[in-house]
Amino acid sequence: MSNTDVRVRFAPSPTGYLHVGGLRTALYNYAFAKANNGKFILRIEDTDQNRYVEGAVENLINTLGWAGLQYDEGPEKGGDFGPYFQSERLDIYKRYADELIAKGKAYYAFDTPERLQQLREEQMEKKLQPKYDKFALSLSKEEVHAKLEAGEPHVVRLNVEPGPKVIIDDIVRGKVEFDRDVIDDQILIKSDGFPTYHLANVVDDHLMGVTHVIRGEEWLSSTHKHVLLYEYLGWDLPRFAHLPLLLNSDRSKLSKRQGDVAVESYREKGYLPEALNNFVALLGWSFGDNTEFFNMQQFIDSFTLEKVHKAGAIFNIEKLNWLSAEHLRSRSADEILILLREEIEKSKYNNDELSDDYLKLIIEAMRERVSFAFEYLQKSPYFFEEVSSYDEDVIKKRWKAETPDHMSALADAFEKMDNPGDKHDYESVLRATAESLGVGAGKLIHPVRVATSGMGTGPGVFDLLYILGKEKVVERIRKAVDSIKIG
């Protein structure tokens, strides 16, 4: 097989949001396709009509696009192997179900729900593995025909026959074996005429030329049924790779009960797509060294299925937050400006008076202090609105009896400045003022910060003063002198 033959698919069900585990599956499939000059297919597995959620497909496509995972074939894009919605392929599944029945590899079953429940209870009482007892195979051809003619509810089941163990050569798991006598006669076509995952999945993967099935570990226990279907239909097997489970910190399976699992939630919270991709890529895979920060192309260049781990991967939100900060800081000021503008538009600070140059000064001053674009507003509101209060703890510590006189002298000195060109001009004036007052520079630096920002932390104080500008600095200092009362 040449690299150009590689074809992989991401096949989610439209049941709501995109789970982070689904994003990882899509990401690994995408990276594998790109690393091997192959094709990445999006297929919608919408045969379970009871679980279908209106708008879920559109949301899925939008979320994959946000994450930068552009598929080569699928809904909206089309391709040579469509339709890409399983609900539009029902005649195809029926055709192959009929072929299996004709070969004796599948059969009609007319059992009532009551009979199946009774069978299950009896098997559990005897401590037997619950599985279908092949009762329907005892029906004669005439009986089957009559029931079909009468329109009796029925399903189509896989006929698991005695034989050697089913062996799966999994790229991640290695050799996995299943005894045939523990494999149930799985339902292939439900009573509503829709296929189950098992039949539709195998038929579609074969007809769409899928060469590698890369999916979550939870499907490993069903893969023996899929192997049998390939065998019964006379088709070559794809290569299988089952990805490790995603786990909470307590090693329980990742679920929304312990935190957000929807990609859309992380998007809404301000995480960058490249940061989330970076984080998700590390949930079961690594470069093989200590590298943790990387971009998509670096990931693709290094990605192989052989590097995927078997052990479950811990979802560590602290690492995601660290990566979010690193990716934001790695962006240029122009790129961050776009993000900051989006945040401003959503905020109470939305106005046309904030110039790009002004915002870029804020971006550089706060770059090392923020992890998300919205934190530019959250952590430094004083750049966007007037100071209305002062941190009481800072006032207690930094605002002394002599401070008002010191601040008034500093405001006078700043007011006399002639067109300050950069932050160093503010530093020179402050230090000269401190010297004339006979005090250390710290006696002015800390009070002027709280006077102009209301806070005790932030960017370098001289960056703060330069960005605000002379008039605003003088105005805020004089306001603080009048407003702040101690003891």
In a domain, 383, yes or no: no
Measured CA to CA, the distance from residue 424 to residue 141 in angstroms comes to 95
Classify residue 323: in a domain, yes or no: no
| Residue 291 included in any domain | yes
User: Domain total for the chain?
Assistant: 4
Q: Which of 314, 339, 361 is the last residue of a domain?
A: 314
Place of tokens 């970076």: 278
Q: Are 343 and 414 found together in one domain?
A: no
| Domain at 104, CATH number | 3.40.50.620
Integer angstrom CA distances of residue 71 from 30, 150, 179: 8, 45, 37
Same domain for 102 and 230?
yes
In a shared domain, residues 197 and 253: no
163 and 106 in one domain?
yes
Asked if residue 325 belongs to a domain, the reply is no
Distance CA 87, CA 229 (A): 20
**DSSP3 helix / strand / coil % (the chain, rounded to 5):** 50, 10, 35
Which CATH number is 437's domain given?
Answer: 1.10.10.350
Strand, coil or helix: 17: coil
The residues pairing with 216 across neighbouring beta strands, listed in sequence order, are: 243
How many CA atoms lie less than 13 Å away from 77 in the CB half-sphere?
A: 15
Nearest CA-CA partner of 407 in 470, 458, 476: 476
SS3 7: strand
Q: Determine the 3-state secondary structure of 256 from DSSP.
A: helix
Residue 340 · residue 359 · CB < 8 Å: yes
Which residue range is the domain that position 342 belongs to? 331-378
Specify whether the CB–CB gap between 155 and 189 falls below 8 A.
yes
Q: What is the pLDDT along the chain (487 residues), one digit of tens a residue?
A: 344 589 999 999 998 889 999 999 999 999 999 999 999 999 999 988 778 888 999 999 999 999 999 999 999 999 999 999 999 999 999 999 999 999 999 999 999 999 999 999 999 999 998 999 999 999 999 999 999 999 999 999 999 999 999 999 999 999 999 999 889 999 999 999 999 999 999 999 999 999 999 999 999 999 999 999 999 999 999 999 999 999 988 888 887 655 689 999 999 999 999 999 999 999 999 998 889 999 999 999 999 999 999 999 999 999 999 999 999 999 999 999 999 999 999 999 987 789 999 999 999 999 999 999 999 999 999 999 999 999 999 999 999 999 999 999 999 999 999 988 899 999 999 999 999 999 999 999 999 999 999 999 999 999 999 999 999 999 999 999 999 998 6
| 3 state SS of 97 | helix
Query: How far is it, in rounded angstroms, from Cα 420 to Cα 414?
Result: 9
Active site residues: 256
Q: In this structure, is residue 262 part of a structural domain?
A: yes
Q: Is 419 exposed, middle or buried (0-12, 13-18, 19+ CB in 10 A)?
A: exposed
Residues 6+ apart with CB under 8 A from 30: 10, 40, 69, 71
Under DSSP, is residue 178 helix (H, G, I), strand (E, B) or coil? strand
Q: CA 302: distance to chain centroid?
A: 20
The β-bridge relationship of strands 166-170 and 174-178 is: antiparallel
**Residues 431 and 352 both lie in one domain:** no
Which residues share a beta bridge with 187? Answer: 157
Domain boundary among 194, 210, 243: 243
Assigned domain for 82 exists:
no
Token representation of residue 231: 């065998």
